[in-house]
Amino acid sequence: MPAAIEVRKVPIHSVADASELAKLIDDGVLDASRVIAIIGKTEGNGGVNDYTRIIADRAFREVLIAKGAPAEQVKGVPIVWSGGTDGVISPHATIFATTDVPEDDPSRGEQRLTVGFAMSEPLAPEEIGRTSMVSKVADAVKVAMERAGITDPGDVHYVQTKTPLLTIHTIRDAKSRGKTVWTEHTHESMDLSNGCTALGIAVALGEIEMPTDADVMHNRSLFSSVASCSSGVELDQAQVVVVGNATGVGGRYRIGHSVMNDALDQDGIWAAIKDAGLDLPERPHHTDLDGRLVNVFLKCEASQDGMVRGRRNAMLDDSDVHWHRQIKSCVGGVTAAVTGDPAVFVSVSAAHQGPEGGGPVAAIVDLS
């Protein structure tokens, strides 16, 4: 049985800042050598060339090493950064670490937060967007579930991934070996990598049957309700973090999930918080949370028909500001209005992640 989890959200005061992680360690809240995953938002452009993710990654790993964690161990800690804090979204990180809970603690008899991590086999550029990638991601998700102590896919509420996207260099590499790639547009490959990864998650959890190559990015009826997929230039494998609940681990925290059916669906956010275990009024207000919400994690997508609740919008036609920036800002504002806190994890590019035009929502709460 895996260890219990301590999870905390901290602000990031500048691009290279990890001082709040250092403070948690200095205060004895976390042990540097027991940090197992970090998921956060950085303030870059969120695109292919968003180097704030690399800067933040280095800052947080350097703190862990400086505070006593072995360098080789820190190198393997999954740190997933989603670039782009458009609108009111505030840069922050959510830190997961193992902790000790007494054997006779009553929480061990209830479902509590658990985390598992795995890396897929290497992904060649010609596999991105194709069923071979779906299969490799699905295999890694199953390994991460096992490491989290989860046997029932229904106990998985959030799967955060980081996968490679296509760059000019990797496209050229594929061509040099006589291979083709799904797209030669590097920015489009971000959506592609995320969507294909989500299908792998859905297959692993039994949400869908194995799709075909033709389904990828086209059959939007195929999706995972717990996938949160991000992509970047900093790796060549799928990095998979499975977060769910298990009996026996104990601890203070629990996770739940739901979906937003469109960009304005506040009820979907509240449903995830309630699913995590908080008892809230029928029409809750952020003051009802009373500090018990650790964080929410969302994916969002501009609806392909250019409509929200029967009203036309121009996001997909805008040549000045890419729709990635616009929908992220919109859903970030909606989410912050629900939680009362702008430090929310809202990530764009939600193909095959939640219903078309909407997206999945996960919420971690403190039940202590």
List, by residue number, the catalytic residues: 162, 230
Run of H or E residues at 8 = strand 4-11
CA dist 202 → 23, 161, 227 (Å): 38, 13, 8
Beta-carbon contacts of residue 57 (< 8 Å; ≥ 6 apart): 79, 81, 234
Are the C-beta atoms of residues 273 and 296 closer than 8 Å to each other? yes
Q: Which of 62, 204, 44, 196 is nearest to 134 (CA)?
A: 196
CA dist 234 → 76, 81, 120, 164, 311 (Å): 14, 11, 15, 7, 39
List beta partners, residue 40.
81, 93
DSSP 278: -
Length of the chain, in residues: 368
Helix (H, G, I), strand (E, B) or coil at 346: strand
Are the C-beta atoms of residues 152 and 142 closer than 8 Å to each other? no
Q: Which of 194, 231, 214 is nearest to 131 (CA)?
A: 214
User: Whole-angstrom Cα distance, residue 243 to residue 178?
Assistant: 39
Displacement of CA 5 from its chain's centroid (Å): 17
Helix (H, G, I), strand (E, B) or coil at 218: coil
Q: Please identify which residue in the block is written with the tokens 């590499």.
A: 173
Beta-carbon contacts of residue 199 (< 8 Å; ≥ 6 apart): 134, 137, 208, 211, 215, 216, 222, 224, 352
Tokens of 160: 């955060």
If DSSP states are collapsed to H, E and C, what string results for 249-315? CCCCEEEEEEEECCCCCHHHHHHHHHHHCCCCCCCCCHHHHCCCEEEEEEEECCCCCCEECCEECCH
